[in-house]
């Protein structure tokens, strides 16, 4: 059994060790936009009624299961086939240690993880001596199916415990497409291709879209506080923290916790304007729901 945390606060509030407090301070320092959002339930703008923050529990997935999954999708590259699919630097391809998890990481966002499983502890030992980077890709906890797109996670802080477990803080870097599983033992290694957002084909200005999304998010926070009885707490005035539209769109997507299908769709988009428009629509729908909930609360006070 492997137990990890994909929520923003994770084990940092489940342990009192000084090292964990140090990790928390590191995270606040290097991800200031996440600071001060305790007033807003960031699990998901689609499921704001869920208040609990629990560790994500993932069933141990045997390597044979990962191979079978990859073969069904045509992802597995056998050793005899690798001569035809060597790393192509010019094509933006590379081999990358792969960590399938039921969480989604976005470029520029921070994720704390707790590593239990033996093969991923082996991966950690290797990474800490080499590149510090691995691919985090969503795996459906019910079907064990892998997503097509993931995000590179760079280890920026780690703590090794006496039983060889690890607490790590990762920061999302570039995105990748999964081209194939090169090997699955002792831990998965995949062939991936990097990609970035392309110039937008949308006529709407991305800066104005980002401003609209920020305004909607501020209204959602305000009404969420009202519905949850936190009337005295104000929504932050500067939610974007001077982020450019593309990184801001990724951060907004990272707050949609509890809606993995929507998060994965946002991760896969290659157009910042389209991503912001989709987030704007989600926030608008959420705002309508909260407005109705607030009206009911005003009409029938407890």
Please give the pLDDT value at position 301.
Answer: 79
pTM for the full predicted model: 0.73
> Do the Cβ atoms of 141 and 58 come closer than 8 Å?
yes
Check pLDDT > 80 for residue 216. Answer: yes
Lowest mean pLDDT among 75-84, 149-158, 165-174: 75-84
Check pLDDT > 70 for residue 31. Answer: no
Domains of the chain (ranges plus CATH)? Answer: 2-195 (2.30.130.40), 206-299 (no CATH)
**How confident is the model over 135-140, as a mean pLDDT?**
96
Higher pLDDT, 25 or 187: 187
Lowest mean pLDDT among 69-83, 166-180, 211-225: 69-83
If DSSP codes are grouped into helix, strand and coil, which group holds residue 291?
A: helix
In angstroms, the CA 167 to CA 116 distance is: 9
* Peptide bond just before 56 cis, omega within 30 deg: no
| Burial bucket for residue 16 (CB in 10 Å: 0-12, 13-18, 19+) | exposed
Give the confidence band of 66 by pLDDT, cuts at 50, 70, 90. low
Check pLDDT > 80 for residue 1. Answer: no
**How confident is the model over 286-299, as a mean pLDDT?**
90
């Amino acid at each position: 059994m492997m137990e990890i945390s994909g929520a923003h606060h994770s084990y940092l509030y489940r342990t009192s060790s000084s090292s964990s407090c140090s990790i928390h301070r590191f995270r606040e320092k290097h991800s200031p936009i996440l600071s001060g959002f305790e007033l807003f339930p960031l699990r998901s703008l689609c499921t704001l009624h869920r208040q609990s923050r629990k560790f994500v529990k993932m069933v141990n997935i045997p390597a044979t299961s990962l191979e079978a999954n990859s073969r069904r999708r045509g992802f597995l590259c056998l050793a005899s086939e690798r001569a035809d699919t060597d790393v192509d630097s010019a094509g933006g391809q590379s081999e990358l240690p792969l960590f399938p998890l039921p969480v989604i990481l976005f470029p520029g966002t921070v994720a704390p993880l707790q590593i239990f499983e033996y093969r991923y502890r082996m991966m950690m030992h290797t990474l800490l001596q080499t590149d510090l980077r691995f691919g985090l890709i969503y795996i459906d906890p019910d079907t064990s199916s892998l997503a097509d797109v993931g995000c590179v996670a760079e280890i920026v802080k780690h703590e090794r415990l006496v039983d060889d477990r690890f607490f790590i803080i990762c920061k999302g870097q570039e995105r990748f497409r999964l081209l194939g599983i090169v090997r699955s033992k002792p831990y998965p290694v995949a062939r991936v291709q990097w990609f970035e957002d392309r110039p937008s084909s949308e006529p709407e200005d991305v800066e104005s879209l980002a401003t609209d999304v920020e305004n909607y998010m501020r209204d959602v926070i305000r009404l969420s506080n009202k519905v949850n009885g936190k009337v005295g707490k104000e929504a932050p005035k500067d939610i974007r923290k001077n982020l450019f539209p593309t990184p801001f769109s990724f951060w907004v997507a990272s707050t949609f916790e509890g809606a993995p299908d929507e998060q994965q769709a946002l991760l896969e988009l290659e157009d910042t304007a389209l991503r912001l428009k989709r987030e704007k629509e989600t926030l608008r729908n959420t705002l309508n729901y909260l407005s109705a909930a607030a009206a009911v609360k005003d009409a029938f006070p407890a």
